[in-house]
Structure 1
Amino acid sequence: MFKKMMKKLMYRSIQNHRVSIQSENDRLSFHFTGLKPFIGQKFFVIKDRSTGRRLKKEIKHNQADFNYEDILSLADSTVLDFYVKAKLYNRYLSKRTPFSKTNYGFSKINKDSNFKISSYKTKDNYLSFNTKRVLFFHKIKHLKTVGKNFYIEGQIESVKPAQEINKLELIMVRRDNKKAYGFNLDFYCNEDIYFKDIILIDKLKNDLNVNSRWDLFLQIRDGLNKVIYKELIEMNGYDNFDHEEDRYLLVNPDTNGMQSVLYATMGKESLALWYTDKPQFEKTYAIAKGKTVFNETCERHPLNRRMVFFESFLGKSYSGNPKYIYEEMLKMGYGDKFTFVWSYSGEEKIPGEPIIVQRESEEYYKYLALSKYWVSNIIFPVHRKREGNIYLQTWHGTPLKKLGYDIEVDGPEKMARENFYLESRNWDYLLSANQYSSGIFRRAFKFNKKMLEFGYPANDIFYKRDASIIKQQIKEKIGIPKDKKVILYAPTWRDNQAASSWNHVFDLKIDLNQFKEQLSDEYVLVLRMHHLISESLNISEELASSVYDLSSYDDIQELYLISDILITDYSSVFFEFANTGRPMLFYAYDFDMYKNQIRGFYLDMEKDLPGPILKTNEELISAIKDIDEVQRKFEDQYQDFVGAYCYLEKGDSSAKVIREVFEGGK
């Protein structure tokens, strides 16, 4: 008990510290606020991120000083991170130094040693330094639009004679394929070197693909045309980026409805160009504004230790594991002691009277910053959490298709994995439905914290005592006749069917007219398309009595419950549907292409699936007509599948998760 109390006191003494920086002659002075009195010692530590080497000075009178020579001794070009350490007897406790507005734009040049250091804010909102030895030090003085082009003006301080500089170039390099274009810059030499020119965007037009991003370099050649300097164009000190949206410096629309955006990167603090469509830019800009709200809320308000923030499928539905955890929390009495917030844009009435916020609104970011507990099944737009946050990542299925760092084929999912990697650094708990999933999640997300291998809360619905009554209530709510059986078609989206950035299309391969003619006396067909492509689906009025488009129906678990047959392809829905024991058909008309060219599978679909793979509409219709025989043929395989992937599902997953994650806060 005494050790825990002392550890708590040590942490409290340093947890809210802030630092400002001053340069005095040959030393750096760090001045601290927010440190609390403590009977032990406090130290400020500078750590070289690449080597782990450290410098340490005791903090006295809220100040710690370091000589430039000591900092130079760590490495020529590196990243430096900062920590405050509390020491009591032989025990240490450290806290990373957060970035604050007083840190922004700090830059120091030491011409005697050709050395430059500059501050920046990490993606986790911590303070770090870039350090490097260079022969030239540049800064941007002015940027503006000229028609659909950009004008750039800057200054270079040199430790080499100006007459050695023969050519000054701006080089633009596309990040994904390293395609490069060069622009000669006009310059003249005085005591320093001054340059200016117009960046002609049309020069890049053959490689300006949607969402391509380009890094901008300054390059210098000598009299022999040899490159003697090439560095990213730095924006540190160009402007005061108090708000995240301030990083978007210039936006230039072109005649094709696209936009060229000059912006300052976070981390590298360098100049870059992004070519994108207007909706994507507006969404990204809104996220940046939201991050400003998030950061300011974090600075001004304490964490609410009795607040839980829920989100399912980017706020589009009230469903999935978050829904079933939430409703179980209400049953267990947590509603009396916690404030619940739901990110939700639908029309479903959420029980329990939670606070409802729209994803990416100002209220959304405010409550996200205030909440101690985060519960999500995909990803939040902020890759940062506060000290004391607990993030429960519930995920949304057992993986068939490769995920994250297991994906080898190029495409949007591979491009998105960096965001998932950043997100997974914040996860404290990750839910898993079985041992198979746990191994994949750890590898694909590079997750090394606590895996909750409890089964999925969303699957508790299949094991409720009144499941048959719930089934009839759902059919009545939807308007499906009691005498009709239900076939659920729930395909995945194809990574290669993108209309634009994260907008997708889907070519429905089921002949709906044939279905109506041959099967509608016994069945209705429920379509549940992936959320990325559901808005592109149109069903004719004459099919309304036999085909139901329920793509916007919030909770797919309820659709599983009412369905007598599942048709899917490469979606993970069949892992959850297997809890029903009802037959499944795998309509994989593009099986060979998907397996080899799109993303790839973890399972051998031809051996491991609990149902037949069908490649034509005729095969599909025939299998439905002969479903009893199909079920008998795959009975043993089905039971083996349930034993391998559904063995944890007993109807108590929600309660297990709640006791593990929230019990201490009740």
Structure 2
Amino acid sequence: MKVFVKKAIKKLMLGHRIRHIEIEDNSKLNVTFDQLSQLSGKKYLVLKDKATGRRLQSRIEQNRTSIDLTELHEMSDTGKIDFYLKSYLFNRTLQTRIAHNHDVPLFEHIDEERKKKFRFYKTIRNNVSLMTERTSFRCTLLEIKPMGSNFYLSGEVEPLEDMKPASVEMVLVRRDTRQGFGYKFELKKPGSDNLYTFNGMVFIEKLRSALAMNSRWDVFFQLRDDKNNLIHREIMNTQGFRSYEREEYRYLETAQLNDQHVAVLYATMGKNSLALWYTDKSQFARTYQIAKGKSIFNEVSEREKLNSRMVFFESFLGKNYSGNPKYIYEEMIQNNRFKDFIFVWSYSGSNPECIPGNPIIVNRESEDYYKYLARAKYWVSNIILPIHRKREGNVYLQTWHGTPLKKLGFDIEIEGPETLARENFYIESRNWDYLVAANKYSSDIFKRAFKFDKKVLEAGYPANDIFYQEETPSKAQSLKTKLNIPASKKVILYAPTWRDNEMANSWNHTFTLPFNLDDLYNKLGDEYVLVLRMHHLVSDMLEIDAKYKNFVYDLSKYDDIQELYTLSDLLITDYSSVFFDYANSKKPILFFAYDYEMYKDNIRGFYLDMAKDLPGPVIRTGPELIQAIQNINSLKRQYGQKYEDFYNEYCSLEDGNAAKTIAELVFK
């Protein structure tokens, strides 16, 4: 409550909107505000050097203030400077970062006398910052043009002192591996205006050996003298090349490489530096739509207030109605405390009628998705949202979706697709206010792997409340009937994870069943049915022969795996986190790890020792799997104590009340 009051007071006293930034006569930095809060007295603009902590402060009067440029030069020779708004409440200092207004153009200014560059930019979290650096040249990008599968670039160079470049290069450096490839450009000597011009081609074929799917490349600009000495190097800036008042304008040009893949030159978010992205067409189309959505989010954020009673839910990128968000939502619509709340669900599945309570339903690819995301005070997700920033006052509850066996985030040591995703998850986790953990083990890993230092709620998983409800057995039987599963048959649930190394394109993965269905059908079909629940990244890749229709039930598209847990008698998995949740049922688990060494050593790596720590046998071959199922009662006795120890370690927080506990703690 104390923290909430403090935030509310700070918001009221430091509410602001920036109107204009300029450098006047190469002597003063002027900043003008409107909509400054009138609830406090004196207000100050504070500029803080990120590296040294040194500060400049100037009183804001009549919504305007100025900083002497000489003082700014003295405070920071090169580096990043953040903008703050400061006020006082009695003897307390209140301070907040200054948010960018998308109506205010950011710019680059060069002080020719001091050979200094000032570049104003927007941070990932939509705040204003300033980059200062020394420079001997003014470099301007004038044209980018796709030519077949390549790019033509041209621009101007103006020396700020008596230096004469003899040649120019563009160098592309891959972010993750730091591999670099250079391109010599033509440099034309200046006329009377002392402006050099440059132009040349970036040939994508030159990068071919190092083009990994979704690799990102920074573009550097280099000048050399007549002795081939490097005299200038900077990341190529696009400030002034185009206005970026809408996020989709950052995608400058696209070159088609073949029927599936494209290379995209774009301006990076905030800093507006030039970069290249290699991806497939469908992923680029999705990303471009997200950029348009961000523009809508920004517009609504600046035009409308947050709705303090609106909650925005999303589970697994909006693909289904499931997971911890589902069970928190169902607790809230049954709890009289939240009767005045408005609920929004991101859902693109085929059964919107499965969502009770009459919420507003939006598709992730629609404009309404971003409008409601901008309006809602509360966000609830179990993976990642497409917006890298949140509004002042937003509360983001990240529920996650499992207890980790596989290494996550910054714990992954093996280079691969997941390590490439670290940056996005790091940026995303800066926005989380709460993170749910099912146990202390998860809490410790999440803090480290996501570099998360805010509030972890060790309350159990709301989705696991289902194991502790009296009506669950009867609901399981009803579900079995609904899915046309014979009441006389036992149910094997097969729920494996996906493989990072089995990629069909940027977001889809290949998968084939790693056992012989004929053998399972012939030896187990009289007693069991097999329910398949594939990971959402591979579920579209699975095809089952019609001859198995009375034995195999592909329920990969079924929204909620928790309900499938309740009707099953046995779980088969590999490295998926599902077994941590399933252990709440105390029903047997088999671990079919047919590619164990490959996965452990070359794909992801594990937190636990599978041979020692798991509550069931680790099986390597199809025949061994069938034998284990046929002897499941013997295995239950064999692993009984290990299962009990595992339950006590990882499930002891679960009591059926996680959803209620979390809802009443987070939503005020």
TM-score for the superposition, normalised by structure 1: 0.97
Give 5+ residue unaligned stretches, structure 1.
Answer: none
1:141 is paired with a residue whose SS is strand
Q: Measure, in 2, the Cα distance between the counterparts of 1:304 and 1:189.
A: 58
Letter in 1 for 2:197: Y
Native 8 Å contact 2:304 2:375 kept in 1: yes
Indicate the RMSD between aligned Cα atoms, in angstroms. 1.8
Aligned pair partner of 1:230 in 214, 233, 242: 233
Mark the CA change 1:10 to 1:494 in structure 2 (over 3 Å): closer, same or farther. Answer: closer
- Residue in 2 that maps onto 1:166: 166
**CA 1:115–1:545 in 2, change beyond 3 Å: closer, same or farther?**
same
Q: Which residue of 1 aligns with 2:488?
A: 483
Q: Distance in 2 between matches of 1:415 and 1:174?
A: 12
Residue 138 (structure 2) aligns with: 137
One of 201, 205, 208 as aligned partner of 2:208: 205
* Aligned equivalent of 1:633, options 627, 638, 657: 638
CA distance in 2: counterparts of 1:94 and 1:644, whole angstroms: 43
1:316-465 matches, within 5 Å, as: 316-333=319-336, 336-348=339-351, 349-465=354-470
> What is aligned with 1:265?
268
Out of 313, 320, 341, the residue aligned to residue 316 of structure 2 is 313
| CA separation of 1:246 and 1:585: change in aligned 2, threshold 3 A | same
One-letter code of the match for 1:144?
A: K
Contact residue 108 and residue 119 of structure 2 kept, 8 A? yes
Cα distance in 1 for residues equivalent to 2:433 and 2:331 = 21
Deviation, structure 1 residue 397 = 0.8
Q: Which 10-residue stretch deviates more, 513-522 or 149-158?
A: 149-158
Counterparts in 2 of 1:597 and 1:209: CA distance versus 1, 3 Å: closer
1:97-246 residue pairs with structure 2 within 5 A? 97-161=98-162, 164-186=164-186, 187-190=188-191, 191-246=194-249
DSSP 3-state at the match of 1:660: helix
| Aligned counterparts of 1:8 and 1:408: Cα–Cα separation in 2 | 42
Letter in 2 for 1:433: A
Q: Write the distance in 1 (CA, Å) between the matches of 2:42 and 2:287.
A: 44
Out of 607, 624, 627, the residue aligned to residue 602 of structure 1 is: 607
Residue aligning to 2:81:
80
Distance 1:257 1:494 in 2: 22
Residue 207 (structure 1) shift? 2.9
Q: Does the CA contact (< 8 Å) of 2:40 and 2:87 recur in 1?
A: no
Unaligned residue ranges in structure 2 (runs of 5+):
none
- Give the corresponding residue for 1:529: 534
1:300 to 300, 303, 314: 303
Residue 360 of structure 1: CA displacement? 2.9
Secondary structure of 1:499 counterpart: coil
* Cα pair distance change 1:341/1:234, threshold 3 Å: same
SS in 1 for 2:421: helix
1:8–1:580 Cα change, 3 Å: closer
With over 3 angstroms needed to count, the CA separation of the structure-2 counterparts of 1:222 and 1:394, relative to structure 1, is same
**Using the alignment, how far apart are the partners of 1:75 and 1:589 within structure 2?**
58
The amino acid across from 2:12 in the alignment is R
In terms of mean alpha carbon deviation, does 529-538 or 19-28 score higher? Answer: 19-28
The equivalences for 1:240-255 within 5 A come to 240-255=243-258
Identity percentage over the alignment? 52
Deviations 1:386-429 (A, max 9, x none): 11111111111111111111111111111112111111111111
- AA matched with 2:316: F
Counterpart Cα distance in 2 of 1:157 and 1:105: 21
Contact 1:10/1:86, CA 8 A, preserved across alignment = no
How many residue pairs were aligned? 662
| Distance across 2 between alignment mates of 1:547 and 1:450 | 43
CA distance in 1, matches of 2:52, 2:281: 42
1:296-317 per-residue CA deviation (whole Å, 9 max, x = no partner) reads: 1101111011110001111011
Q: What is residue 20 of structure 1 aligned with on the other side?
A: 20
Alpha-carbon distance in structure 1 between the residues aligned to 2:236 and 2:562: 51
For 1:184-205, what per-residue CA distance to the aligned partner results, in whole angstroms no more than 9, with x for missing partners?
2222222122222233333333
Equivalence for 1:274: 277
Residue 593 of structure 1, aligned match among 578, 591, 598:
598
Give how far 1:10 is off. Answer: 5.8
* Structure 1 counterpart SS, 2:504: strand
Report deviation, 1:174: 2.1
- How far residue 104 of structure 1 moved from its aligned partner, in angstroms, is 2.3
Shift of 1:256: 4.3
User: 1:140 deviation in Å?
Assistant: 1.0
